[in-house]
């Protein structure tokens, strides 16, 4: 198994782990920001799977049906990722819009937010549990 294939498989597992933690954080808090994060992670996992398939197909040698090889499989994977990012963005915008129309007070003790921190800090993203209390304060103050 090539290093590229091993890295692609590892990225699927890491993505699935992050997705699981972010989904748990959203389930515990009900925060739209965490739902958006989980949707983005769903795209990461799906596109990592598509990338693995594309890498394997692209590595095949040329044959009678594909005399120039199978490299275009990677382009299909890239297009799929672009489409999925757009779909996730539209879903996130929808959730944000609905949350804007019907704001609600969030129940987010720090230990629940730390669950999301588990998913973000080890993988190099900004810790959203630091940003969220500011957003919570803003959304609750406009509701009063």
CB atoms within 10 A of CB 28: 17
- Rounded to a whole number of angstroms, the minimum distance from the CB of residue 48 to Zn ion is 23
Instruction: Give the C-alpha separation, 4 to 95, whole Å.
Output: 36
Give burial (CB, 10 Å; 0-12/13-18/19+) of 58.
middle
User: Site size for Zn ion, by CB under 5 A?
Assistant: 3
* Position 63 contacts Zn ion (CB under 5 A): yes
- Rounded to a whole number of angstroms, the minimum distance from the CB of residue 59 to Zn ion is 12
Choices 16-24, 38-46, 66-74, 88-96; region in contact with Zn ion by CB under 5 A: 66-74
* Position 65 contacts Zn ion (CB under 5 A): yes
Instruction: Yes or no: say if 30 and 116 are a contact pair by the CB < 8 Å rule.
Output: no
* Position 56 contacts Zn ion (CB under 5 A): no
Instruction: Give the C-alpha separation, 64 to 44, whole Å.
Output: 34
Instruction: Give the C-alpha separation, 71 to 23, whole Å.
Output: 35
- Rounded to a whole number of angstroms, the minimum distance from the CB of residue 62 to Zn ion is 7
Instruction: Give the C-alpha separation, 95 to 62, whole Å.
Output: 46
- Compose the 6-45 pattern: x for residues touching Zn ion by CB under 5 A, - for all others: ----------------------------------------
* Position 111 contacts Zn ion (CB under 5 A): no
Interacting residue ranges for Zn ion, rule: CB under 5 A: 63, 65-66
């Amino acid at each position: 198994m090539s290093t590229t294939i091993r890295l692609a498989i590892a990225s699927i597992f890491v993505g699935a782990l992050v997705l699981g933690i972010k989904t748990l954080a959203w389930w515990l808090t009900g925060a739209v920001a965490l739902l958006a994060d989980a949707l983005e992670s769903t795209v990461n996992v799906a596109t990592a799977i598509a990338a693995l398939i594309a890498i394997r197909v692209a590595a095949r040698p040329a044959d009678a049906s594909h005399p120039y090889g199978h490299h275009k499989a990677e382009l299909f994977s890239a297009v799929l990722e672009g489409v999925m990012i757009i779909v996730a963005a539209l879903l996130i915008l929808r959730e944000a819009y609905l949350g804007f129309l019907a704001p609600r007070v969030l129940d987010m003790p720090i230990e629940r937010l730390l669950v999301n921190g588990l998913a973000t800090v080890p993988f190099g993203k900004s810790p959203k549990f630091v940003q969220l209390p500011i957003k919570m304060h803003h959304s609750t103050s406009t509701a009063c």
